[in-house]
Structure 1
């Protein structure tokens, strides 16, 4: 996934969105049930079903939040929102929502969070501005986000889903496209009407407002993390170093982006495997910046947002 979208589907054959990002917990549970069916000769289905029903979502939620806190560089969990201090769930939700609103790059936005230093350090104020600048640079252009939104509702399948929403919502759920997903697409349709009246500058200003608001919430959580030693500069620096290490170990620089895979495949089909080999080398160490002294520009090439021509690019099982 490049630009974040709750309803992102990585496989072009998954027209119903059964494996969309928003449905990952649900489909994970379904796959575990299928695994349990295969284990029936060893473990009775009634036993595994009870275990899954009673434990899956609580375990999933715990593991998901623990991973997300590492990606945010936060060490103190918060179960409830208290004024401007967002809970774990609300901070995660608002970050993902802000990425979707601005059409921001999923991988690069998470990695950019390491720019921010903890409150109390001399570099903190400047780092807040630098983070905002970087996050805005990872947002889709006006043209990109309009095109991306339209790809969600310009198919015959979506028109069929709209009919089913009114006539047979149960069947819609079975097809993997529940009412919430349809509502999100309808919201995108309304948003696109607004976007088409905007200028690029207006879109950028709106992106800036969204990210400024989220960064304020993020800074509040970091302050909460360090409140016990907020006046100890050495402890703050140690915490910042620890935070940076954890974040960089959980937020990759490089992922196998669809357009990079497409370029590598096309070259390989022509007998040139240099791009395949280079991609393989980079992806073997996705958390570390690649070294290419012969061509420094390549360092950024493999982690930049996709070009406009790749906006609707999807893979298939045969890819």
Structure 2
């Protein structure tokens, strides 16, 4: 069924709209309509994300829903728009950017913004076509839900729709639209935009908007002499530090940590050339476009701090004094290492803290680095060993077991005062069996390109509950095949 451009469909979706961002002044966005795609079809749907959104399950399976989430129709109350922002890309000021292929449909009464990615040209498309392709849309859909399943703050992905409409990248591909949801898609770059253009009234309006909706405690602060904007910067710094600790602990590489890809709410946002580590190589670069390694795995915590410094610069006209802004950033330096160590303690099944824990973690990372041991499989096998499996399953991961044997001895001594059953339970819910490895995503994409979406559905099911065993699906938790190392993911989509 093809519905005419931007027609209204019957309001039985279960959603109501309040559109607070759309009430901001016109300089924040451009109102526009999505560009339709012909003959859309479902590629994947997240019922869990739909439930969080408050979407009626029956309507979500309907032809009307397919049209709405492809950009061919609207629900009553939607106010489509694309927002403007700027940012630093690969450490260089890029000037004005904005939603070049994303169109926000509106904000629900439940507090979630709903956004179409790949819905056509906007004023911020910068010579691009405003479209997304099937492969990148599947990767974003699956990884958004995978991160949520891991308990990592993230934007959600409601669904992916496809069309046989052609899109040119390095080669001709087919179009797709991914529907994303989040409490807000505001980025560091939104603040940089108004600061760089000397629009201080708009900068203050934006900061007040975010503080009042997401950081109201900053209005009551006694820190920094009661400076709410400094308290806001500190709160964002601490959320970002906690997020980075979770990324590092699970072995997640973002790939493009530009300031326009940093959420003001501390969410993982904009899934492009991401990757979960296979072998543990701290210098791993997942983005084929990142020739200098700026966004390598071990650089991510420092890059996040650099990005926060850019945010502090943008907020300085509101904060007032440079020394206060710098002081507001300092908590990152303590929150990140403390949060990372807490995550590693959980991965090790340690229910208390002792002074030597950091040395135990560092010694293990050194052993894993020497042989680039598979990150996810090692941690899951160590968890199973704590639950009763033979230690040989862990030793088998190493060509030279000398280092891991010595470490396992220290690990056992550290656990002498920790009940083994409690430690095993903590480890099994801290170390996932399933992550979205590149080769798994690639297999699902290649099947989808043949109009077989079963691989997308299977992966979604596993990644929504990645700590469960999922009997019969051990192949999805195995070692990557040799060809996986040849997969190249870049900024192109």
Contact preservation (8 Å) 2:429, 2:467: yes
Q: In structure 2, what is the Cα distance between the partners aligned to 1:31 and 1:271? A: 40
Q: What is the CA–CA distance in structure 1 between the aligned matches of 2:336 and 2:426, rounded to whole Å?
A: 21
Please say if residues 254 and 283 of structure 1, whose CA atoms lie closer than 8 Å, have aligned partners that are also in contact. yes
- Of 406, 413, 418, the residue aligned with 1:213 is 406
Q: For residue 303 of structure 1, what is the aligned residue in structure 2?
A: 477
Distance 2:381 2:320 in 1: 47
Structure with bigger gyration radius: 2
Structure holding more helix per residue = 1
Residue of structure 2 equivalent to 1:102: 371
Shift of 1:222: 0.9
Alpha-carbon distance in 2 for matches of 1:44, 1:247? 46
Deviations along 1:199-238, one digit per CA (max 9) or x if unpaired, are xxxxx3x2x2121111112112112x34xxxxxxxxxxxx
**CA distance in structure 2 between the partners assigned to 1:31 and 1:13 by the alignment:** 19
Q: CA deviation at 1:117?
A: 3.9
How far off is 1:22 after superposition? Answer: 1.8
Q: Which one is further off, 276-285 or 31-40?
A: 31-40
Whole-angstrom CA distance in 1 between matches of 2:441 and 2:340: 28
Evaluate the alpha carbon distance shift between residue 221 and residue 30 of structure 1 in structure 2; reply closer, same or farther with a 3 A threshold.
same
Relative to structure 1, the CA distance from residue 272 to residue 29 in structure 2 (aligned partners, 3 Å threshold; closer, same or farther) is: same
1:12 corresponding residue in structure 2: 288
Uncovered stretches (5+) of structure 2, i.e. residues with no partner: 1-276
Asked if 1 retains the 8 angstrom alpha-carbon contact of 2:395 and 2:405, the reply is no
Contact 1:13 1:316 in 2 (8 A): yes
Distance 1:254 1:211 in 2: 23
Q: Please, which of 110, 134, 139 is the counterpart of residue 393 of structure 2?
A: 134
Q: Aligned pair in 2 of structure 1 residues 12, 220: CA closer, same or farther (>3 Å)?
A: same
Within-5 A mapping of 1:151-190:
none
Q: Report the alpha carbon displacement of residue 311 of structure 1 after superposing the two structures with TM.
A: 2.5
Query: 1:52-111, CA deviations, whole angstroms, 9 ceiling, x for partnerless residues?
Result: 1x32211111111011000000123222xxxxxxx2222111111111212211011111
Task: Describe the shift of the 1:44–1:113 C-alpha distance in structure 2 as closer, same or farther (beyond 3 A).
Answer: farther
2:309 maps to: 33
Query: Following TM superposition, by how much is the alpha carbon of 1:45 offset from its aligned partner in structure 2, in angstroms?
Result: 6.9
Residues 258 and 314 in structure 1, CA contact (< 8 A), matched pair in contact too: no
- Match for residue 166 of structure 1? none
Cα displacement (A) at 1:41: 5.7
| 1: CA distance, partners of 2:481 / 2:291 | 23
- Determine if contact 2:385/2:394 at 8 Å carries over to the other structure: no
Query: 1:49 Cα shift?
Result: 2.4
Q: 1: CA distance between counterparts of 2:304 and 2:321? A: 17
Aligned residue for 1:116, secondary structure, equals helix
Higher relative contact order (CA 8 A, sep 6+): 1
What's 1:64 paired with?
340
Aligned residue for 1:248?
428
1:88 has 2:357 as partner: yes
Partners in 2 of 1:32 and 1:135 — Cα distance?
39
Q: Residues of 2 paired with 1:42 and 1:288: CA distance?
A: 47
Q: What whole-Å deviation, never above 9, does each CA across 1:112-169 have from its counterpart, x for those lacking one?
A: 2223349xxxx6xxx5xx22x2224435xxxxxxxxxxxxxxxxxxxxxxxxxxxxxx
1:214–1:274 distance in 2 versus 1, CA, 3 Å: same
For residues 301 and 268 of structure 1, the distance between their equivalents in structure 2, rounded to whole angstroms, comes to 19
C-alpha distance in structure 2 between counterparts of 1:93 and 1:113, whole Å:
16
SS in 1 for 2:477: coil
Spell out, residue by residue over 1:273-299, the C-alpha distance to the aligned partner (whole angstroms, 9 max, x if none): 1111111111111111224xxxx2xx1
Partner of 1:271: helix, strand, or coil?
coil
1:135-150, aligned counterparts within 5 Å?
135-139=394-398
In the aligned structure 2, how far is the partner of 1:45 from the partner of 1:266?
A: 54
Q: Under a length normalisation based on structure 1, what TM-score does the superposition of the two structures give?
A: 0.62
Q: Corresponding residue for 2:453?
A: 273
1:156: which partner in 2?
none
Q: 3-state DSSP class of the match of 2:307?
A: helix
Q: How big is the shift at 1:245?
A: 2.0
Residue 264 of structure 1 corresponds to 444
More strand by share: 2
User: Unaligned 5+ residue runs, structure 1?
Assistant: 80-86, 140-203, 227-238
Q: Matches of 2:491 and 2:395 in 1, distance apart? A: 34
CA RMSD of aligned residues (A): 2.1
Query: Which stretch shifts more, 61-70 or 96-105?
Result: 96-105
